Structure 1
């Protein structure tokens, strides 16, 4: 039988801490969340590999290091309200919830919404709410957000996200063409609403689908 707790500890050390992400709150969040419980049975034994994995509805669960990198870039703190676009399996939202005060995770796929909601209930992540909507439009009812993270790549930063961001808030998202290498960027809402852009490196994500994203098919 796989010793998931030991594999989880090894993953945190080898894939996250050894690559320079040493914030204790981030490391502890990854140690606290059982990634295997966010995968179907056939992929559970691969839960702590250094790679993305398939999930339901033809989507993927991101590589642990990339999730950690985005959380670090977003500078998420205790008490923050965070919007995650592209909830998928719910794994990243669960990790974020161990740091932030509240997580609103948007997912457009009904199948994934139902699965992620069940996981949150079963695992006790009561500060995570999964909503079914077009994530490219953000989620106005709970705005403003201290941070917005996107698990899919768009052509631009949706203007609704900027509007729903608190002063000093951060957006972390990949930008670029589907099925190609993209850029991970950080956008900070500075004084008087001025946007400060940073590039964080090359990544590959599924396309961001929706009104302010790519068309579906």
Structure 2
């Protein structure tokens, strides 16, 4: 669990690269400089941890490339102490970025293997998520709603209605929408009132699929 000055230098280079690629939110860039991505990967990938690439993390899942993490995080427009629901804890890297940005993170993971590993790892790294849950991301966490924002880190064929219902008025839902084996469209949903949502589509991405009724 070492984090050296060399790793810090690589993080600075990565943050500079992300800035060149269009990430302008200083809160996001500072979080990238702070969070040791190499500790969220299998040690065999450590030398590649600060490249802008995704890597496998087990259970058929991946850690998203840093640009994707930063892009989604920027779209959330996180303010300090915002309640953020993350669908798909995965490696915990996105969770740690949101925590470093000052969010109170509630996160759901549907793969038990990853949930167990990440539940152990995050506290060791000083990442204090408000709540980690093993369960179905399509259902969200109604007992903790409403949320200032919701981030989905897997490709969903539809926008789940329970997640829309758990968003505060004025809140933002960031979700890649599209079927399995398709390019997904990164979608922003802003809740205007009890029944109205404003929708924006902002680019194509590829995510692992969000599976329903996994548990």
TM range (shorter): over 0.9
2:97 maps to 95
Q: Distance in 2 between matches of 1:161 and 1:24?
A: 28
1:105 maps to 107
| CA apart distance, 1:106 | 0.5
| CA apart distance, 1:50 | 1.3
Write out aligned runs for 1:20-169 (5 A).
20-169=22-171
In the TM superposition, what whole-angstrom CA distance separates every residue of 1:101-127 from its partner, at most 9, and x where no partner exists?
310110011110111111111001113
Q: How many residues align?
A: 212
**Structure 1 residues 140 and 191, CA gap change in structure 2 (3 angstroms):** closer
Runs in 1 of length 4+ with deviation above 6 angstroms? none
Give the TM-score taking structure 2 as reference length: 0.94
C-alpha RMSD over aligned residues: 1.6
**Structure 1 residues 160 and 100, CA gap change in structure 2 (3 angstroms):** farther
Q: Aligned to 2:59, what secondary structure does the other structure show?
A: helix
**Structure 1 residues 2 and 44, CA gap change in structure 2 (3 angstroms):** farther
In the TM superposition, what whole-angstrom CA distance separates every residue of 1:1-25 from its partner, at most 9, and x where no partner exists?
99211111100101x1112212221
| CA apart distance, 1:56 | 1.8
Q: Distance in 1 between matches of 2:194 and 2:46?
A: 47
Q: Distance in 2 between matches of 1:32 and 1:129?
A: 22
Of stretches 106-115 and 124-133 in structure 1, the one that deviates more from structure 2 is 124-133
Q: Are 1:116 and 1:130, in contact at CA under 8 Å, matched by a contact in 2?
A: no
Unmatched segments (≥5 aa) in structure 2: none
| CA apart distance, 1:193 | 3.2
Q: Distance in 1 between matches of 2:21 and 2:103?
A: 26
